[in-house]
Structure 1
Amino acid sequence: MRVFGHRGFSGEYPENTMLAFQKAVEAGCDGIELDVQLTRDLVPVIMHDEKVDRTTDGSGYVYDLTFDEIRRLDCSYPDKFGGKFGQLEVTSLREYLEWMAEEENLITNIELKNSVYYYGGMERMVMDMICEYGLEDRIILSSFNNASIVLCRQNDDTIAGGFLVERCVENAGVYARTCDVQYYHPNMDYLKEEHVRSCSQNGVGVNVWTVNEKEDMRRMKKWGVSSIITNYPDRGREVADEE
Protein backbone atom coordinates (compact mmCIF):
# COMPACT_ATOMS: atom_id res chain seq x y z
CA MET A 1 0.00 0.00 0.00
CA ARG A 2 1.42 3.35 -1.08
CA VAL A 3 1.12 6.50 1.00
CA PHE A 4 0.31 9.88 -0.54
CA GLY A 5 0.62 13.10 1.42
CA HIS A 6 -2.72 14.92 0.97
CA ARG A 7 -1.74 18.44 -0.12
CA GLY A 8 1.61 17.45 1.35
CA PHE A 9 1.91 16.92 5.10
CA SER A 10 -1.18 19.07 5.57
CA GLY A 11 -1.98 17.81 9.06
CA GLU A 12 1.06 19.62 10.45
CA TYR A 13 2.06 22.22 7.83
CA PRO A 14 0.23 24.73 5.61
CA GLU A 15 -1.35 22.76 2.78
CA ASN A 16 -0.07 22.75 -0.78
CA THR A 17 3.12 24.63 0.09
CA MET A 18 6.65 23.54 -0.71
CA LEU A 19 7.21 23.17 3.03
CA ALA A 20 4.31 20.69 3.29
CA PHE A 21 5.60 18.75 0.28
CA GLN A 22 9.15 18.56 1.62
CA LYS A 23 7.94 17.45 5.06
CA ALA A 24 5.78 14.73 3.49
CA VAL A 25 8.84 13.33 1.73
CA GLU A 26 10.80 13.47 4.99
CA ALA A 27 7.97 11.49 6.61
CA GLY A 28 8.47 8.71 4.07
CA CYS A 29 5.55 9.17 1.69
CA ASP A 30 5.54 7.45 -1.70
CA GLY A 31 3.69 10.29 -3.36
CA ILE A 32 2.15 13.74 -3.07
CA GLU A 33 -1.44 14.70 -3.83
CA LEU A 34 -1.93 18.34 -4.85
CA ASP A 35 -4.42 20.60 -6.63
CA VAL A 36 -3.95 22.85 -9.66
CA GLN A 37 -5.87 25.89 -10.86
CA LEU A 38 -5.07 28.69 -13.33
CA THR A 39 -4.42 32.33 -12.56
CA ARG A 40 -5.88 35.14 -14.63
CA ASP A 41 -2.73 35.14 -16.79
CA LEU A 42 -2.95 31.35 -17.22
CA VAL A 43 -0.19 30.21 -14.87
CA PRO A 44 -0.88 26.82 -13.23
CA VAL A 45 -0.67 27.24 -9.46
CA ILE A 46 -1.16 24.82 -6.59
CA MET A 47 -4.31 25.76 -4.68
CA HIS A 48 -7.24 23.64 -3.49
CA ASP A 49 -10.06 26.17 -3.15
CA GLU A 50 -11.38 28.28 -6.00
CA LYS A 51 -10.86 31.27 -3.69
CA VAL A 52 -7.65 32.12 -1.82
CA ASP A 53 -9.45 33.28 1.35
CA ARG A 54 -9.13 30.13 3.48
CA THR A 55 -5.47 29.33 2.91
CA THR A 56 -3.86 32.77 2.49
CA ASP A 57 -4.05 36.31 3.83
CA GLY A 58 -5.72 37.44 0.62
CA SER A 59 -9.20 37.23 -0.87
CA GLY A 60 -10.82 36.57 -4.21
CA TYR A 61 -10.91 33.90 -6.87
CA VAL A 62 -7.73 32.35 -8.23
CA TYR A 63 -8.89 33.02 -11.78
CA ASP A 64 -9.23 36.76 -11.01
CA LEU A 65 -5.66 37.12 -9.73
CA THR A 66 -2.47 37.33 -11.79
CA PHE A 67 0.46 35.12 -10.88
CA ASP A 68 2.37 38.12 -9.50
CA GLU A 69 -0.61 39.05 -7.33
CA ILE A 70 -1.05 35.53 -6.00
CA ARG A 71 2.67 35.17 -5.25
CA ARG A 72 2.46 38.12 -2.87
CA LEU A 73 0.01 36.23 -0.66
CA ASP A 74 1.08 34.46 2.52
CA CYS A 75 0.07 30.80 2.97
CA SER A 76 1.18 30.70 6.62
CA TYR A 77 -1.61 33.09 7.56
CA PRO A 78 -4.47 30.71 8.57
CA ASP A 79 -5.20 30.60 12.31
CA LYS A 80 -4.23 26.94 12.54
CA PHE A 81 -0.59 27.85 12.00
CA GLY A 82 -0.49 31.48 13.12
CA GLY A 83 2.43 32.36 10.86
CA LYS A 84 4.84 30.19 12.87
CA PHE A 85 6.57 28.95 9.72
CA GLY A 86 7.26 32.42 8.35
CA GLN A 87 5.90 33.67 5.05
CA LEU A 88 5.11 30.91 2.55
CA GLU A 89 4.35 31.65 -1.08
CA VAL A 90 1.73 30.04 -3.26
CA THR A 91 3.58 27.41 -5.30
CA SER A 92 3.47 27.28 -9.07
CA LEU A 93 3.16 23.92 -10.77
CA ARG A 94 6.44 24.57 -12.58
CA GLU A 95 8.24 25.18 -9.30
CA TYR A 96 6.86 21.93 -7.93
CA LEU A 97 7.75 19.86 -11.00
CA GLU A 98 11.32 21.19 -10.97
CA TRP A 99 11.61 20.00 -7.38
CA MET A 100 9.87 16.69 -8.06
CA ALA A 101 12.25 15.91 -10.91
CA GLU A 102 15.08 15.81 -8.34
CA GLU A 103 13.13 13.59 -5.90
CA GLU A 104 13.83 10.12 -7.28
CA ASN A 105 10.81 7.77 -7.42
CA LEU A 106 8.36 10.32 -5.96
CA ILE A 107 4.89 9.99 -7.51
CA THR A 108 2.47 12.90 -7.77
CA ASN A 109 -1.30 12.92 -8.08
CA ILE A 110 -2.28 16.22 -9.70
CA GLU A 111 -5.94 17.01 -9.17
CA LEU A 112 -7.26 19.30 -11.88
CA LYS A 113 -9.62 21.64 -10.03
CA ASN A 114 -12.02 22.12 -12.91
CA SER A 115 -15.29 20.68 -11.65
CA VAL A 116 -16.64 23.89 -10.08
CA TYR A 117 -15.11 26.34 -12.55
CA TYR A 118 -13.91 24.88 -15.85
CA TYR A 119 -10.53 26.22 -16.94
CA GLY A 120 -10.47 25.80 -20.71
CA GLY A 121 -7.18 24.38 -21.93
CA MET A 122 -5.93 23.43 -18.47
CA GLU A 123 -5.52 19.78 -19.41
CA ARG A 124 -3.18 20.45 -22.32
CA MET A 125 -1.25 23.09 -20.40
CA VAL A 126 -0.58 20.81 -17.43
CA MET A 127 0.26 17.80 -19.59
CA ASP A 128 2.71 19.77 -21.70
CA MET A 129 4.53 20.86 -18.55
CA ILE A 130 4.65 17.29 -17.24
CA CYS A 131 6.16 16.14 -20.54
CA GLU A 132 8.64 19.02 -20.51
CA TYR A 133 10.14 17.59 -17.31
CA GLY A 134 9.90 13.97 -18.49
CA LEU A 135 7.65 12.95 -15.59
CA GLU A 136 4.91 11.15 -17.51
CA ASP A 137 5.46 7.83 -15.74
CA ARG A 138 5.38 9.41 -12.26
CA ILE A 139 2.16 11.41 -12.55
CA ILE A 140 -1.52 10.59 -12.05
CA LEU A 141 -4.02 13.18 -13.26
CA SER A 142 -7.35 13.15 -11.41
CA SER A 143 -10.50 15.25 -11.30
CA PHE A 144 -14.10 15.19 -10.11
CA ASN A 145 -14.78 16.30 -13.68
CA ASN A 146 -14.32 12.78 -15.04
CA ALA A 147 -14.77 13.96 -18.64
CA SER A 148 -11.63 16.05 -18.19
CA ILE A 149 -9.63 12.91 -17.37
CA VAL A 150 -11.03 11.11 -20.42
CA LEU A 151 -9.85 14.10 -22.49
CA CYS A 152 -6.39 13.85 -20.90
CA ARG A 153 -6.15 10.15 -21.77
CA GLN A 154 -7.23 10.87 -25.36
CA ASN A 155 -4.56 13.56 -25.68
CA ASP A 156 -1.71 11.55 -24.14
CA ASP A 157 -2.13 7.97 -22.96
CA THR A 158 1.35 7.89 -21.38
CA ILE A 159 0.05 9.79 -18.33
CA ALA A 160 -2.20 7.81 -15.98
CA GLY A 161 -5.66 9.06 -15.08
CA GLY A 162 -7.87 8.74 -12.02
CA PHE A 163 -11.60 9.29 -11.57
CA LEU A 164 -12.35 11.21 -8.37
CA VAL A 165 -15.77 10.46 -6.91
CA GLU A 166 -17.57 11.77 -3.83
CA ARG A 167 -20.00 8.86 -3.49
CA CYS A 168 -18.83 5.48 -4.71
CA VAL A 169 -19.80 3.87 -8.00
CA GLU A 170 -21.04 0.28 -7.64
CA ASN A 171 -19.41 -0.93 -10.88
CA ALA A 172 -16.30 1.19 -10.32
CA GLY A 173 -13.85 -1.17 -11.98
CA VAL A 174 -15.85 -1.49 -15.18
CA TYR A 175 -16.52 2.26 -15.23
CA ALA A 176 -12.84 3.15 -15.08
CA ARG A 177 -11.60 0.35 -17.35
CA THR A 178 -14.05 1.09 -20.17
CA CYS A 179 -12.95 4.73 -20.09
CA ASP A 180 -9.26 3.71 -20.27
CA VAL A 181 -8.59 5.18 -16.84
CA GLN A 182 -6.11 3.46 -14.53
CA TYR A 183 -7.25 4.60 -11.09
CA TYR A 184 -10.40 5.08 -9.07
CA HIS A 185 -10.23 7.72 -6.30
CA PRO A 186 -13.12 7.28 -3.85
CA ASN A 187 -14.07 9.01 -0.63
CA MET A 188 -13.25 6.55 2.17
CA ASP A 189 -16.58 7.19 3.89
CA TYR A 190 -18.49 5.56 1.02
CA LEU A 191 -16.01 2.88 0.01
CA LYS A 192 -16.90 -0.78 0.40
CA GLU A 193 -14.62 -3.77 0.10
CA GLU A 194 -16.56 -4.99 -2.93
CA HIS A 195 -15.72 -1.73 -4.74
CA VAL A 196 -12.03 -2.45 -4.22
CA ARG A 197 -12.57 -6.00 -5.43
CA SER A 198 -14.37 -4.76 -8.56
CA CYS A 199 -11.46 -2.49 -9.39
CA SER A 200 -8.90 -5.22 -8.80
CA GLN A 201 -10.76 -7.60 -11.08
CA ASN A 202 -10.68 -4.98 -13.83
CA GLY A 203 -7.03 -3.99 -13.41
CA VAL A 204 -7.89 -0.62 -11.88
CA GLY A 205 -6.01 0.74 -8.87
CA VAL A 206 -7.81 2.32 -5.91
CA ASN A 207 -6.36 5.46 -4.30
CA VAL A 208 -8.67 6.36 -1.41
CA TRP A 209 -9.02 9.69 0.38
CA THR A 210 -8.77 11.09 3.04
CA VAL A 211 -7.51 8.42 5.45
CA ASN A 212 -6.16 9.91 8.67
CA GLU A 213 -6.75 7.38 11.46
CA LYS A 214 -4.56 4.30 11.82
CA GLU A 215 -7.56 2.02 12.27
CA ASP A 216 -8.93 3.15 8.90
CA MET A 217 -5.49 2.85 7.31
CA ARG A 218 -5.24 -0.75 8.46
CA ARG A 219 -8.71 -1.49 7.09
CA MET A 220 -7.77 -0.01 3.72
CA LYS A 221 -4.57 -2.05 3.71
CA LYS A 222 -6.54 -5.22 4.49
CA TRP A 223 -8.94 -4.48 1.65
CA GLY A 224 -6.01 -4.19 -0.75
CA VAL A 225 -6.25 -0.58 -1.91
CA SER A 226 -3.37 0.70 -4.02
CA SER A 227 -2.82 3.86 -2.01
CA ILE A 228 -4.15 5.94 0.84
CA ILE A 229 -4.19 9.72 0.60
CA THR A 230 -3.65 11.16 4.07
CA ASN A 231 -2.99 14.42 5.89
CA TYR A 232 -0.56 12.47 8.09
CA PRO A 233 1.91 10.60 5.88
CA ASP A 234 4.02 9.70 8.92
CA ARG A 235 1.12 7.61 10.28
CA GLY A 236 0.49 6.16 6.85
CA ARG A 237 4.13 5.11 6.48
CA GLU A 238 4.03 3.40 9.87
CA VAL A 239 0.92 1.40 8.99
CA ALA A 240 2.06 0.56 5.46
CA ASP A 241 5.29 -0.88 6.87
CA GLU A 242 3.57 -3.04 9.49
CA GLU A 243 3.95 -6.79 9.06
Structure 2
Amino acid sequence: MDTLFYAHRGSSHKFSENTRAAYLQAIDDGADGIECDVHLSKDGIVVCHHDPTVDRTSDSTGLVAARTLEELKSLDFTNVVPAAIPEEYGQENEQLLSLAELLGLIDARGVKIGLAVEIKHPSPFGHLLEDGVLKVLQEFNFDPKTGQAGTHGQIFVTLMSFEPESLRYLARTVNKDLLCQLITEVDGEWVEELLSTGQVGRAAVYEVLYRSVAEGIELINAGGAGIIGPGVAWTRANEHLVRQWLDQGLKARIWTVDRPADAVYLTGLGVGQLTSNRPAELRKELELN
Protein backbone atom coordinates (compact mmCIF):
# COMPACT_ATOMS: atom_id res chain seq x y z
CA MET A 1 0.00 0.00 0.00
CA ASP A 2 1.35 3.43 -0.97
CA THR A 3 1.36 5.86 1.94
CA LEU A 4 0.41 9.48 1.29
CA PHE A 5 2.12 12.18 3.35
CA TYR A 6 0.19 15.39 3.99
CA ALA A 7 2.07 18.44 5.26
CA HIS A 8 0.36 19.64 8.46
CA ARG A 9 -0.24 23.38 8.00
CA GLY A 10 2.52 23.10 5.42
CA SER A 11 6.01 21.89 6.29
CA SER A 12 5.51 23.56 9.65
CA HIS A 13 8.66 22.26 11.33
CA LYS A 14 10.74 24.34 8.90
CA PHE A 15 8.63 27.50 8.67
CA SER A 16 5.77 28.93 10.69
CA GLU A 17 2.49 27.12 10.21
CA ASN A 18 -0.02 28.08 7.53
CA THR A 19 2.39 30.51 5.87
CA ARG A 20 3.39 30.91 2.23
CA ALA A 21 6.86 29.60 3.11
CA ALA A 22 5.53 26.48 4.86
CA TYR A 23 3.22 25.65 1.96
CA LEU A 24 5.85 26.17 -0.72
CA GLN A 25 8.35 24.16 1.30
CA ALA A 26 5.82 21.30 1.45
CA ILE A 27 5.53 21.32 -2.34
CA ASP A 28 9.32 21.44 -2.74
CA ASP A 29 9.64 18.61 -0.19
CA GLY A 30 7.49 16.44 -2.45
CA ALA A 31 4.58 16.14 -0.03
CA ASP A 32 1.60 14.25 -1.44
CA GLY A 33 -0.74 16.80 0.06
CA ILE A 34 -1.03 20.03 2.02
CA GLU A 35 -3.33 20.50 5.00
CA CYS A 36 -4.55 24.00 5.80
CA ASP A 37 -7.02 25.55 8.25
CA VAL A 38 -9.50 28.24 7.32
CA HIS A 39 -11.51 31.02 8.95
CA LEU A 40 -13.40 34.01 7.55
CA SER A 41 -11.95 37.48 7.93
CA LYS A 42 -14.06 40.50 8.87
CA ASP A 43 -14.56 41.30 5.19
CA GLY A 44 -15.63 37.75 4.33
CA ILE A 45 -12.39 36.42 2.85
CA VAL A 46 -11.42 32.81 3.52
CA VAL A 47 -8.00 32.97 5.17
CA CYS A 48 -5.53 30.24 6.08
CA HIS A 49 -5.03 30.29 9.83
CA HIS A 50 -5.49 27.74 12.60
CA ASP A 51 -6.59 29.55 15.77
CA PRO A 52 -9.65 31.79 16.06
CA THR A 53 -7.28 34.47 17.38
CA VAL A 54 -3.89 35.71 16.16
CA ASP A 55 -2.46 35.77 19.69
CA ARG A 56 -0.25 32.67 19.39
CA THR A 57 0.82 33.04 15.78
CA SER A 58 1.47 36.75 15.25
CA ASP A 59 2.89 39.90 16.78
CA SER A 60 -0.61 41.06 17.73
CA THR A 61 -3.75 39.88 19.51
CA GLY A 62 -7.46 39.58 18.77
CA LEU A 63 -9.89 37.58 16.67
CA VAL A 64 -9.21 36.69 13.05
CA ALA A 65 -12.87 37.46 12.40
CA ALA A 66 -12.41 41.01 13.71
CA ARG A 67 -9.81 41.97 11.10
CA THR A 68 -9.99 42.49 7.35
CA LEU A 69 -7.66 40.58 5.08
CA GLU A 70 -5.57 43.71 4.61
CA GLU A 71 -5.30 44.16 8.39
CA LEU A 72 -4.32 40.51 8.87
CA LYS A 73 -1.64 40.79 6.19
CA SER A 74 -0.08 43.70 8.07
CA LEU A 75 0.81 41.34 10.96
CA ASP A 76 3.95 39.23 11.29
CA PHE A 77 3.15 35.49 11.28
CA THR A 78 6.73 34.24 10.99
CA ASN A 79 7.77 33.77 14.63
CA VAL A 80 6.12 30.46 15.53
CA VAL A 81 9.15 28.84 13.90
CA PRO A 82 11.77 31.60 13.59
CA ALA A 83 13.67 30.97 10.37
CA ALA A 84 15.15 32.97 7.54
CA ILE A 85 12.69 32.88 4.65
CA PRO A 86 14.20 32.32 1.19
CA GLU A 87 13.44 35.13 -1.24
CA GLU A 88 11.45 32.78 -3.49
CA TYR A 89 9.09 32.02 -0.59
CA GLY A 90 8.05 35.66 -0.21
CA GLN A 91 8.64 38.55 2.15
CA GLU A 92 7.58 38.60 5.80
CA ASN A 93 4.47 40.65 5.00
CA GLU A 94 3.41 38.12 2.34
CA GLN A 95 3.18 35.06 4.57
CA LEU A 96 -0.50 35.01 5.55
CA LEU A 97 -2.56 33.76 2.61
CA SER A 98 -6.18 33.64 1.63
CA LEU A 99 -7.41 30.24 0.47
CA ALA A 100 -7.61 31.65 -3.06
CA GLU A 101 -3.95 32.70 -2.87
CA LEU A 102 -2.93 29.26 -1.64
CA LEU A 103 -4.79 27.56 -4.47
CA GLY A 104 -3.19 29.99 -6.90
CA LEU A 105 0.28 29.11 -5.61
CA ILE A 106 -0.38 25.38 -5.92
CA ASP A 107 -1.97 25.74 -9.34
CA ALA A 108 0.97 27.78 -10.61
CA ARG A 109 3.38 25.02 -9.58
CA GLY A 110 1.42 22.59 -11.75
CA VAL A 111 2.18 19.63 -9.48
CA LYS A 112 -0.23 16.81 -8.74
CA ILE A 113 -1.03 17.24 -5.06
CA GLY A 114 -3.79 16.92 -2.48
CA LEU A 115 -5.26 19.84 -0.56
CA ALA A 116 -7.05 19.06 2.70
CA VAL A 117 -9.01 22.09 3.88
CA GLU A 118 -9.95 22.04 7.56
CA ILE A 119 -13.00 24.20 8.26
CA LYS A 120 -12.65 25.65 11.74
CA HIS A 121 -15.67 25.94 13.99
CA PRO A 122 -17.24 27.53 15.87
CA SER A 123 -17.30 30.45 13.46
CA PRO A 124 -19.13 33.72 14.14
CA PHE A 125 -20.17 33.54 10.49
CA GLY A 126 -21.79 30.10 10.71
CA HIS A 127 -22.09 28.27 7.41
CA LEU A 128 -20.99 31.35 5.50
CA LEU A 129 -17.55 29.85 6.10
CA GLU A 130 -18.44 26.70 4.14
CA ASP A 131 -20.11 28.82 1.46
CA GLY A 132 -16.97 30.92 1.18
CA VAL A 133 -14.74 27.87 0.85
CA LEU A 134 -16.93 26.35 -1.87
CA LYS A 135 -17.02 29.65 -3.76
CA VAL A 136 -13.22 29.85 -3.79
CA LEU A 137 -12.93 26.22 -4.88
CA GLN A 138 -15.39 26.81 -7.71
CA GLU A 139 -13.11 29.58 -8.99
CA PHE A 140 -10.44 26.88 -9.37
CA ASN A 141 -12.66 24.45 -11.31
CA PHE A 142 -13.50 22.27 -8.30
CA ASP A 143 -15.54 19.18 -9.15
CA PRO A 144 -17.62 18.34 -6.05
CA LYS A 145 -17.99 14.74 -7.22
CA THR A 146 -14.35 13.85 -7.88
CA GLY A 147 -12.53 16.48 -5.81
CA GLN A 148 -10.41 17.54 -8.76
CA ALA A 149 -9.49 21.21 -9.07
CA GLY A 150 -6.89 23.39 -10.72
CA THR A 151 -6.11 24.36 -14.30
CA HIS A 152 -5.40 20.75 -15.24
CA GLY A 153 -7.39 18.97 -12.55
CA GLN A 154 -4.12 18.23 -10.78
CA ILE A 155 -5.25 19.30 -7.30
CA PHE A 156 -7.29 16.78 -5.29
CA VAL A 157 -9.39 18.60 -2.70
CA THR A 158 -10.92 17.12 0.44
CA LEU A 159 -12.78 18.98 3.19
CA MET A 160 -12.42 18.31 6.90
CA SER A 161 -13.90 19.45 10.19
CA PHE A 162 -14.29 18.43 13.81
CA GLU A 163 -17.82 19.84 13.59
CA PRO A 164 -20.17 17.12 12.24
CA GLU A 165 -22.76 19.72 11.27
CA SER A 166 -20.21 21.30 8.94
CA LEU A 167 -19.85 18.00 7.06
CA ARG A 168 -23.63 17.53 6.94
CA TYR A 169 -23.91 20.97 5.38
CA LEU A 170 -21.17 20.28 2.84
CA ALA A 171 -22.71 16.91 1.95
CA ARG A 172 -25.59 18.76 0.30
CA THR A 173 -23.29 19.57 -2.61
CA VAL A 174 -20.04 17.63 -2.09
CA ASN A 175 -19.45 13.90 -2.51
CA LYS A 176 -19.28 12.34 0.96
CA ASP A 177 -16.17 10.44 -0.09
CA LEU A 178 -14.38 13.82 -0.08
CA LEU A 179 -15.40 14.63 3.50
CA CYS A 180 -13.22 13.85 6.52
CA GLN A 181 -14.58 13.70 10.07
CA LEU A 182 -11.85 14.75 12.48
CA ILE A 183 -11.88 13.23 15.96
CA THR A 184 -10.00 13.91 19.16
CA GLU A 185 -10.54 13.18 22.83
CA VAL A 186 -11.40 16.13 25.10
CA ASP A 187 -12.45 15.95 28.74
CA GLY A 188 -15.95 17.40 29.09
CA GLU A 189 -15.11 18.67 32.58
CA TRP A 190 -12.35 20.79 31.03
CA VAL A 191 -14.95 22.55 28.88
CA GLU A 192 -16.97 23.30 32.00
CA GLU A 193 -13.87 24.58 33.78
CA LEU A 194 -13.08 26.95 30.91
CA LEU A 195 -16.62 28.27 31.02
CA SER A 196 -16.52 28.72 34.78
CA THR A 197 -13.34 30.79 34.50
CA GLY A 198 -14.77 33.03 31.79
CA GLN A 199 -12.73 31.60 28.90
CA VAL A 200 -15.78 31.44 26.66
CA GLY A 201 -13.91 31.48 23.35
CA ARG A 202 -11.64 28.56 24.26
CA ALA A 203 -14.59 26.69 25.75
CA ALA A 204 -16.52 27.01 22.49
CA VAL A 205 -13.63 25.53 20.51
CA TYR A 206 -13.14 22.63 22.91
CA GLU A 207 -16.85 21.96 23.03
CA VAL A 208 -16.71 21.25 19.28
CA LEU A 209 -13.74 18.94 19.83
CA TYR A 210 -15.59 17.20 22.66
CA ARG A 211 -18.62 16.58 20.43
CA SER A 212 -16.40 15.32 17.61
CA VAL A 213 -16.20 11.92 19.28
CA ALA A 214 -19.78 10.78 19.87
CA GLU A 215 -21.37 12.81 17.08
CA GLY A 216 -18.46 12.18 14.72
CA ILE A 217 -18.66 8.42 15.23
CA GLU A 218 -22.40 8.58 14.61
CA LEU A 219 -21.88 10.52 11.38
CA ILE A 220 -19.20 8.11 10.15
CA ASN A 221 -21.32 5.06 10.95
CA ALA A 222 -24.23 6.64 9.08
CA GLY A 223 -22.08 6.98 5.95
CA GLY A 224 -21.69 10.73 6.24
CA ALA A 225 -17.95 10.82 5.61
CA GLY A 226 -15.64 8.73 3.45
CA ILE A 227 -12.50 9.64 5.38
CA ILE A 228 -11.85 9.22 9.09
CA GLY A 229 -9.47 11.69 10.72
CA PRO A 230 -8.64 10.83 14.33
CA GLY A 231 -5.44 11.80 16.07
CA VAL A 232 -2.67 9.29 16.76
CA ALA A 233 -3.50 8.87 20.46
CA TRP A 234 -7.21 8.38 19.76
CA THR A 235 -6.38 5.81 17.09
CA ARG A 236 -4.22 3.81 19.48
CA ALA A 237 -6.91 3.93 22.18
CA ASN A 238 -9.67 2.93 19.74
CA GLU A 239 -7.84 0.60 17.39
CA HIS A 240 -10.77 -1.82 17.14
CA LEU A 241 -13.03 0.93 15.83
CA VAL A 242 -10.46 2.22 13.36
CA ARG A 243 -9.91 -1.34 12.08
CA GLN A 244 -13.66 -1.73 11.66
CA TRP A 245 -13.90 1.44 9.57
CA LEU A 246 -10.92 0.44 7.44
CA ASP A 247 -12.47 -2.98 6.87
CA GLN A 248 -15.61 -1.19 5.66
CA GLY A 249 -13.55 0.54 2.98
CA LEU A 250 -13.21 3.98 4.57
CA LYS A 251 -9.96 5.87 4.13
CA ALA A 252 -8.00 7.11 7.13
CA ARG A 253 -5.93 10.29 7.41
CA ILE A 254 -4.32 10.35 10.84
CA TRP A 255 -2.72 13.39 12.51
CA THR A 256 -0.23 14.59 13.69
CA VAL A 257 2.32 11.90 12.85
CA ASP A 258 5.89 13.03 13.45
CA ARG A 259 7.44 9.94 15.09
CA PRO A 260 8.59 7.01 12.94
CA ALA A 261 7.22 4.58 15.53
CA ASP A 262 3.73 6.04 15.07
CA ALA A 263 4.08 5.91 11.29
CA VAL A 264 5.10 2.26 11.37
CA TYR A 265 2.20 1.41 13.68
CA LEU A 266 -0.36 3.24 11.53
CA THR A 267 0.76 1.86 8.19
CA GLY A 268 0.74 -1.60 9.75
CA LEU A 269 -2.83 -0.95 10.75
CA GLY A 270 -3.71 -0.16 7.14
CA VAL A 271 -3.78 3.64 7.36
CA GLY A 272 -2.94 5.13 3.97
CA GLN A 273 -2.60 8.83 4.76
CA LEU A 274 -0.41 10.47 7.41
CA THR A 275 -0.51 14.16 8.28
CA SER A 276 2.87 15.36 9.55
CA ASN A 277 4.71 18.57 10.39
CA ARG A 278 7.76 16.98 8.76
CA PRO A 279 6.45 14.94 5.81
CA ALA A 280 9.68 14.62 3.82
CA GLU A 281 11.74 13.45 6.80
CA LEU A 282 9.02 11.06 7.97
CA ARG A 283 8.77 9.50 4.53
CA LYS A 284 12.53 8.81 4.50
CA GLU A 285 12.45 7.41 8.04
CA LEU A 286 9.52 5.15 7.21
CA GLU A 287 11.31 3.83 4.13
CA LEU A 288 14.25 2.82 6.34
CA ASN A 289 12.01 0.77 8.66
Instruction: Return the TM-score normalized by structure 1.
Output: 0.90
Which of 82, 91, 98 is 1:92 aligned to? 98
- Superposed, 1:152-231 pairs within 5 Å as 152-157=170-175, 160-167=178-185, 175-176=219-220, 178-192=222-236, 193-231=239-277
Query: RMSD over aligned Cα, in angstroms?
Result: 2.4
Which of 101, 106, 125 is 2:107 aligned to? 101
Q: Distance in 1 between matches of 2:214 and 2:121?
A: 24
User: Which range moves more in the overlay, 134-143 or 223-232?
Assistant: 134-143
| Partner SS for 2:30 | coil
User: Which range moves more in the overlay, 110-119 or 204-213?
Assistant: 110-119
Contact map agreement 1:7 1:16 (CA 8 A) in 2? yes
- Summarize the Cα distance change of 1:169–1:84 in structure 2 as closer, same or farther, 3 Å threshold: same
Task: For residues 2-45 of structure 1, give each alpha carbon's deviation from its aligned partner in whole angstroms, at most 9, with x where no partner exists.
Answer: 10000001112111011101111222210011100000110000
Query: Higher helix fraction: Structure 1 or Structure 2?
Result: 2
Q: Give % identity.
A: 25
- Summarize the Cα distance change of 1:59–1:173 in structure 2 as closer, same or farther, 3 Å threshold: closer
Q: What letter is aligned with 1:41? A: D
Q: Which residue of 2 aligns with 1:55?
A: 57
Please report how far the alpha carbon of residue 179 of structure 1 lies from its aligned counterpart in structure 2 after TM superposition.
3.6
Task: For residues 72-113 of structure 1, give each alpha carbon's deviation from its aligned partner in whole angstroms, at most 9, with x where no partner exists.
Answer: 1111134x41x6336143111110011222332210110001
Please report how far the alpha carbon of residue 157 of structure 1 lies from its aligned counterpart in structure 2 after TM superposition.
2.4
Q: Distance in 1 between matches of 2:111 and 2:250?
A: 25
Please report how far the alpha carbon of residue 47 of structure 1 lies from its aligned counterpart in structure 2 after TM superposition.
0.3
Q: Which residue of 2 aligns with 1:33?
A: 35
| Partner SS for 2:36 | strand
- Summarize the Cα distance change of 1:174–1:116 in structure 2 as closer, same or farther, 3 Å threshold: closer
Residue 112 in structure 1 maps to residue 85 in structure 2:
no
4+ aligned runs moved over 6 Å, structure 1: 170-174
Please report how far the alpha carbon of residue 201 of structure 1 lies from its aligned counterpart in structure 2 after TM superposition.
2.1
Instruction: Return the TM-score normalized by structure 2.
Output: 0.76
- Superposed, 1:139-150 pairs within 5 Å as 139-150=157-168
Please report how far the alpha carbon of residue 232 of structure 1 lies from its aligned counterpart in structure 2 after TM superposition.
0.6
Please report how far the alpha carbon of residue 239 of structure 1 lies from its aligned counterpart in structure 2 after TM superposition.
4.2
Q: Which residue of 1 aligns with 2:284?
A: 238
Please report how far the alpha carbon of residue 133 of structure 1 lies from its aligned counterpart in structure 2 after TM superposition.
0.5
Q: Distance in 1 between matches of 2:23 and 2:116?
A: 12
Q: Distance in 1 between matches of 2:17 and 2:259?
A: 18
Segments of structure 2 that go 5 or more residues without pairing to the other structure are 86-90, 149-155, 186-211
- Summarize the Cα distance change of 1:172–1:224 in structure 2 as closer, same or farther, 3 Å threshold: farther
Q: Distance in 2 between matches of 1:181 and 1:196?
A: 14
Please report how far the alpha carbon of residue 177 of structure 1 lies from its aligned counterpart in structure 2 after TM superposition.
5.0
Segments of structure 1 that go 5 or more residues without pairing to the other structure are none
Contact map agreement 1:221 1:240 (CA 8 A) in 2? no
Q: Distance in 2 between matches of 1:84 and 1:206?
A: 35
Q: Distance in 2 between matches of 1:171 and 1:119?
A: 18
Contact map agreement 2:72 2:96 (CA 8 A) in 1? yes
Please report how far the alpha carbon of residue 149 of structure 1 lies from its aligned counterpart in structure 2 after TM superposition.
0.9
User: Which range moves more in the overlay, 23-32 or 34-43?
Assistant: 23-32
Q: What letter is aligned with 1:101? A: D
User: Which range moves more in the overlay, 100-109 or 24-33?
Assistant: 100-109
Please report how far the alpha carbon of residue 130 of structure 1 lies from its aligned counterpart in structure 2 after TM superposition.
1.0
Larger Cα-atom Rg: 2
